[in-house]
Amino acid sequence: MAIGFVNTAVHLSIYAALNPWMPYLMAHVLGCAVSIVGSFLLNSCITCRTRPTRRGFLRYPVSSVFNPVASGALP
């Protein structure tokens, strides 16, 4: 639960910082990308107590890509 809060806070912080200088969708995508990387690292290290791997890093965003696409398509 706490990791989800951190993930959301990171996404919204990056979005809020970038939105005045770039289009909504670009700020949203960058915020999502950074929060997905952070979420992967936190989930690997804290939740699963494993070391992050390249293979896991490449597979993790596949499970997370639906949310930014859906929320970006419905502004």
Can you give the pTM of this predicted structure? 0.71
Q: How does pLDDT run along the chain (75 residues), one tens digit per residue?
A: 576 788 889 999 999 999 999 998 899 989 988 988 888 888 887 777 888 888 888 877 777 677 667 776 766
Angle between helices 2-18 and 24-42 (to 10 degrees): 150
Is the Cβ–Cβ distance between 13 and 45 less than 8 Å? no
- Give residue 1's pLDDT: 54
- Give residue 14's pLDDT: 94
